């Protein structure tokens, strides 16, 4: 059975004090209220990773929001995968649409980031998703499938088995406009088929595919009930402990 995961992506939010408060609230609420088998991940700004690590438990793991594709060197301002590994980080978001859009990350560069993350035992949460233009007038399924092909399909089946995918339609991110459960299920099933065509049904069956894009306390349960939706990558709703915990509780085993 594939793992169910709910990851919070805090993006560039919270002061140090707020970050500690939110983390300890989330850890307590998850501990008290969540009984099902779901891995929670908090993807926090990198300056807080070391501090927040001490608040975490097995059920709540720590993730970064990006890493550089090189191990070290003259890349002012960047954070490397070996650095993240050295402070106990377990997950790293790669290829978020905001990084693709504002920092011009390409599929080829993301393939390198995936490689270095895996080489350092970090679990990549690999983001993919189409724009509104594509959704309205193009082959959006083919486009998202090609993001996987270009950045992930060089991996061996064993390596691919360590990847978590997050489907995040760009038009749903931070807009309050969520993909319907049917739209999410359609894409997730298509991606699973695409993975099966390359790696076979067993690898595809074991791949965790998260949904992200205005998932919140009200809609999470319905989205997570889709057979191919294995949890979520949560932006805005991960910034409030009560909302985030409710989202996590939306995962049914």
x-or-dash string of contact with ligand 13P, 41-80, rule CB under 6 A? ----------------------------------------
Choice among 98, 105, 130, 168 that is catalytic: 168
Nearest partner of 234 among 34, 54, 57, 96, judged by Cα: 96
Tell me if 235 contacts ligand 13P by CB under 6 A.
yes
Residues within window 91-150 making contact with ligand 13P, judged by CB under 6 A = 96
* Out of 39, 80, 214, 246, the residue judged to bind ligand 13P by CB under 6 A: 214
Tell me if 234 contacts ligand 13P by CB under 6 A.
yes
CA distances from 36 to 3, 63, 83, 200 (A): 12, 21, 32, 29
Got the DSSP string for 9-42?
Answer: E--S---HHHHHHHHHHHHHHHHHH--SS-EEEE
The token pair at 231 is 């949890």
* Out of 83, 184, 233, 248, the residue judged to bind ligand 13P by CB under 6 A: 233
188 is catalytic: no
Indicate left, alpha or beta for 48 from its phi (over 0: left) and psi (-120 to 50: alpha): alpha
Tell me if 173 contacts ligand 13P by CB under 6 A.
yes
Q: Which residue has the tokens 């807009």?
A: 175
168 is catalytic: yes
x-or-dash string of contact with ligand 13P, 153-172, rule CB under 6 A? ---------------x----
Which positions ≥6 away from 222 have C-beta within 8 Å? 181
Q: State the catalytic residues.
A: 96, 168
In the complex, which residues of this chain contact ligand 13P (CB under 6 A)?
9, 96, 168, 173-174, 212-215, 233-237
């Amino acid at each position: 059975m594939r793992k169910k995961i709910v990851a919070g992506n805090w993006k560039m939010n919270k002061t140090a004090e707020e970050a500690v408060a939110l983390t300890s609230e989330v850890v307590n609420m998850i501990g008290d209220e969540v009984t099902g088998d779901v891995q929670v991940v908090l993807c926090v700004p990198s300056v807080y990773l070391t501090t927040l690590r001490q608040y975490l438990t097995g059920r709540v793991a720590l993730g970064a929001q990006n890493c550089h594709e090189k191990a070290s060197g003259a890349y002012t301002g960047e954070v490397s995968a070996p650095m993240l590994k050295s402070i106990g980080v377990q997950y790293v978001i790669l290829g978020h649409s905001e990084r693709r859009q504002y920092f011009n990350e390409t599929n080829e560069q993301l393939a390198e980031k995936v490689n270095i993350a895996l080489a350092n035992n970090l679990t990549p949460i690999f983001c993919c998703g189409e724009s509104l233009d594509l959704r309205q007038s193009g082959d959006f399924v083919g486009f998202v499938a090609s993001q996987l092909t270009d950045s992930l399909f060089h991996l061996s089946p064993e390596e691919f088995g360590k990847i978590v995918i997050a489907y995040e339609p760009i038009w749903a991110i931070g807009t309050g406009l969520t993909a319907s459960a049917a739209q999410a299920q359609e894409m997730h099933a298509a991606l699973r088929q695409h993975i099966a065509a390359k790696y076979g049904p067993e690898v595809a069956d074991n791949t965790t595919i998260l949904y992200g894009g205005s998932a919140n306390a009200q809609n999470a349960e319905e989205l997570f009930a889709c057979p191919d939706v294995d949890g979520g990558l949560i932006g805005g709703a991960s910034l409030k402990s009560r909302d985030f915990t409710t989202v996590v509780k939306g995962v049914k085993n």
